[in-house]
Amino acid sequence: MSNLALFQLSTTLVGHESDVKAVCCSGENSVVSSSRDKTARLWSRTGKNTFIENKIFLGHNNFVNSVKYLPPTSEHSSGLVISGSSDKTINVFDVENAQEPAYSLIGHSDNVCALDVTPSGFIVSGSWDKTAKIWKNWQESYTLEGHSQAVWAVLAIDDERILTGSADKSIIKWQNGKRVQTLSGHTDCVRALALLPNTNFVSCGNDSTLRIWTFSGQCIQELYGHTSFVYSLGVLPTGEIISSGEDRSVKIWKDGKCIQTIIHPATSVWCVAPMPNGDIVSGSSDGIARIFSRDSERVAESQILKDYDEQVSKHAIPSNQVGDLKKDNLPGLEALQRQGNKEGQVIMIRAGDMVEAHQWSQADQSWHKIGEVVDAVDQKRKQLYKGREYDYVFDVDIGEGTPALKLPYNTNDDPYRAAREFISANGLPEVYMEQIVDFILKNAPDANLSSGSSQFADPFTGASRYTPGGVSNSSQTPSVSSNTFAAGLDPWTRPGPSPITEPSSVASGLAKIIPQKTYLKFHQANIQAILKKINQINVDLQQIESTNNTVLTSQEITTLENLAKFLQNPQANSGSNNDRQQEFIVIRKIITQWPFENRFPGIDLLRLQILYTPIPAQYVENDNNIIHLLINSASMNSWSKDQDTPTKDQETNMMLGLRALTNLFNVEEGKIIIKREASTIIDMISHTWKSTNKNLRIALVTVFLNFSVLYKTNANEDVILQLMATLVELLENENESEVVYRALVTLGTFIIQNQAAKEAAEAFDVKNVVKLVSTKTNEARINSIANEFSRLI
The confidence score (pLDDT) of residue 260 equals 93
318 band by pLDDT with thresholds 50, 70 and 90 = low
Q: Summarize pLDDT for 122-140 with one digit per residue, the tens.
A: 999 999 999 999 999 999 9
Average pLDDT over residues 447-460: 40
Kindly report whether the peptide bond that precedes residue 459 is cis, defined as omega within 30 degrees of 0: no
488, HSE (Cβ side, Cα atoms, 13 Å): 15
The answer to whether residue 390 scores a pLDDT higher than 50 is yes
Percent of the chain with pLDDT over 90: 40
198 band by pLDDT with thresholds 50, 70 and 90 = confident
The confidence score (pLDDT) of residue 469 equals 38
Least confident of 163-167, 177-181, 720-724: 720-724
Average pLDDT over residues 448-468: 37
344 Ramachandran zone, left/alpha/beta (phi>0; psi -120 to 50): left
The amino acid occupying position 82 is I
461 band by pLDDT with thresholds 50, 70 and 90 = very low
481 band by pLDDT with thresholds 50, 70 and 90 = very low
The confidence score (pLDDT) of residue 255 equals 92
The confidence score (pLDDT) of residue 269 equals 95
* Cα–Cα dist 244/651, whole Å: 48
Please enumerate in sequence order all residues whose Cβ is within 8 A of that of 536, keeping only pairs 6 or more positions apart, or say none: none
The confidence score (pLDDT) of residue 429 equals 61
SS3 per residue for 440-480: HHHHCCCCCCCCCCCCCCCCEECCCEECCCCCCCCCCCCCH
Please enumerate in sequence order all residues whose Cβ is within 8 A of that of 736, keeping only pairs 6 or more positions apart, or say none: 694, 697, 698
The answer to whether residue 432 scores a pLDDT higher than 70 is no
SS3 per residue for 529-554: HHHHHHHHHHHHHHCCHHHHHHCCCH
Average pLDDT over residues 680-709: 88
The answer to whether residue 458 scores a pLDDT higher than 60 is no
The answer to whether residue 319 scores a pLDDT higher than 80 is no
Average pLDDT over residues 23-42: 94
Average pLDDT over residues 717-743: 89
Predicted TM-score (pTM) above 0.75 = no
Average pLDDT over residues 666-670: 89
519, HSE (Cβ side, Cα atoms, 13 Å): 21
Q: Summarize pLDDT for 592-607 with one digit per residue, the tens.
A: 899 888 899 999 999 9
* Cα–Cα dist 358/347, whole Å: 5
Are 59 and 37 in contact by the 8 Å Cβ rule? The answer is no
Average pLDDT over residues 213-240: 93
Least confident of 14-18, 113-117, 487-491: 487-491
* Cα–Cα dist 327/92, whole Å: 52
- If we measure between CA atoms, which residue out of 785, 739, 166, 137 comes closest to residue 480? 739
* Cα–Cα dist 690/700, whole Å: 11
Average pLDDT over residues 139-160: 95
The confidence score (pLDDT) of residue 564 equals 86
Q: Dihedral of CA 175/178/183/189: which sign? A: positive
Average pLDDT over residues 169-180: 96
Average pLDDT over residues 328-347: 78
* Cα–Cα dist 704/665, whole Å: 11
700 band by pLDDT with thresholds 50, 70 and 90 = very high
The confidence score (pLDDT) of residue 513 equals 65
92 Ramachandran zone, left/alpha/beta (phi>0; psi -120 to 50): beta
Q: What are phi and psi of 135, to 5 degrees?
A: -115, 125
The confidence score (pLDDT) of residue 42 equals 96
Average pLDDT over residues 311-330: 63
Q: Summarize pLDDT for 215-224 with one digit per residue, the tens.
A: 999 999 999 9
The answer to whether residue 725 scores a pLDDT higher than 50 is yes
**Total number of residues shown for the chain:** 793
User: Who wins on pLDDT, 688 or 446?
Assistant: 688
The amino acid occupying position 590 is I
* Cα–Cα dist 26/32, whole Å: 7
Please enumerate in sequence order all residues whose Cβ is within 8 A of that of 457, keeping only pairs 6 or more positions apart, or say none: 61, 467, 470, 472, 486
Local structure of residue 330 (DSSP, 8 states): S
DSSP 3-state of 208:
coil
* Cα–Cα dist 242/273, whole Å: 8
The confidence score (pLDDT) of residue 120 equals 93
The answer to whether residue 467 scores a pLDDT higher than 60 is no
User: Who wins on pLDDT, 474 or 673?
Assistant: 673
The answer to whether residue 639 scores a pLDDT higher than 90 is no
The answer to whether residue 516 scores a pLDDT higher than 80 is yes
Give helix then strand counts, H and E, for the chain: 19, 38
Inter-CA distances, 143 with 126, 579, 645, Å:
10, 59, 37
* Cα–Cα dist 709/746, whole Å: 9
* Cα–Cα dist 398/497, whole Å: 13
User: Who wins on pLDDT, 309 or 323?
Assistant: 309
The confidence score (pLDDT) of residue 492 equals 28
Q: How far apart are the first and last CA of the chain?
A: 86
Task: Give 316's strand partners.
Answer: 372
The amino acid occupying position 465 is R
* Cα–Cα dist 92/98, whole Å: 10
Average pLDDT over residues 246-265: 93
- If we measure between CA atoms, which residue out of 63, 34, 16, 105 comes closest to residue 413? 63
701 Ramachandran zone, left/alpha/beta (phi>0; psi -120 to 50): alpha
The answer to whether residue 51 scores a pLDDT higher than 60 is yes
Name the burial class of residue 7, with classes exposed (0-12), middle (13-18) and buried (19+) by CB atoms within 10 angstroms of its CB: buried
Least confident of 77-81, 410-414, 639-643, 734-738: 639-643
Average pLDDT over residues 502-515: 42
The answer to whether residue 292 scores a pLDDT higher than 80 is yes
327 band by pLDDT with thresholds 50, 70 and 90 = low
* Cα–Cα dist 117/468, whole Å: 33
Inter-CA distances, 458 with 284, 455, 469, 485, 660, Å:
29, 9, 8, 8, 13
Q: Summarize pLDDT for 543-589 with one digit per residue, the tens.
A: 886 666 789 999 999 999 988 888 877 765 666 667 778 888 999 99
What mean pLDDT is reported for the chain?
Answer: 81
The confidence score (pLDDT) of residue 22 equals 97
399 Ramachandran zone, left/alpha/beta (phi>0; psi -120 to 50): left
Average pLDDT over residues 497-518: 45
* Cα–Cα dist 231/245, whole Å: 5
